[in-house]
Amino acid sequence: MISRIRNFLRRRAPSSEFESSFDQYVTSTPHHQNAIEALAGWNSAFPASLDLKAGPHHLYADPRIEWAISQYGEIEDKKILEVGPLEGMHTFMLNKWRPKLIDAIEANRICYLRCLVTKQILDLDRATFYLGDAQRWLETPRDPYDLTVASGVLYHLADPGGFLRRVSEQTRSLYIWTHYFDDVAMPDSDIRRTPFTGKIETRSVNGYNVRYYERSYQHANESRSFCGGIRDRHYWMHKEDIVGLLQWLGFEHVIIHDDEPAHSGGPCFSIFARARSE
């Protein structure tokens, strides 16, 4: 009896309704949520008014970026470089102030694609996202940016001092949020020391010596939500070395904000710096 009913239904309905669809296609009603779910592992949430489900962190209203803008002043019609936009939520905050342009450089393929989804959903009309290594971008001479934003970037790099040197050549003002190394805040018994290998080296950046503390991701890169650096071996700098190097490279009015030695991920702070020519 059941087989007769099925045959009857097949004769009355188009055959396509009984065929399975290919995996690479979405057959539900078109919606922004479909694009979000196509790229699993989101870190960032979207504004609540949009009723979209993505990641847990409300980076679209990040007080760190609000503070950076307050230190710079009016960014309307300014040229901005954003290094490591992650999923475009800080870009969204910058875009609201109507800068002339935002060049946003992201090296992580999946994060880059998430940035494009964010650009579409939030209409980031002043931003252009580029996939690739920001260090390579900074090697190309160009007119300087008015402001460079690098939040959550410095401590993921294989050569953080070299990055600061290249940035100093291409921007008039700089905002950084970063973790840093500190023996007092993070003694040997501190669990936050676990990823560090114990190797410390001194490097010269434009004649200024800085300490590099070697660290590993310990396979964290295997997670879909991983948003760290390009290579496993990366280095944290000492807070004093970061500030001193920025001043050595020609920045003044170096302001430290929200210094958190007890942060669960390791000591961290925000820095705003303006070049002497400003």
Domains of the chain with CATH codes: 2-50 (no CATH), 59-275 (3.40.50.150)
In 96-207, where does DSSP find H-type helix?
Answer: 109-122, 134-138, 160-168
Least confident of 80-89, 160-169, 209-218, 220-229: 220-229
What is residue 231's predicted lDDT score, i.e. its pLDDT? 82
DSSP 109-139: HHHHHHHHHHHHHHT-TTEEEEES-HHHHHT
pLDDT at 69 over 50: yes
Token digits of residue 240: 């004093």
pLDDT at 2 over 80: no
Q: Taking residues 224-237, report their average pLDDT.
A: 82
pLDDT at 165 over 70: yes
What is residue 42's predicted lDDT score, i.e. its pLDDT? 96
Round to the nearest angstrom and report the end-to-end CA distance of the chain.
85
Confidence of residue 9 (pLDDT cuts 50, 70, 90): very low
What 3-state DSSP class applies to 155? Answer: helix
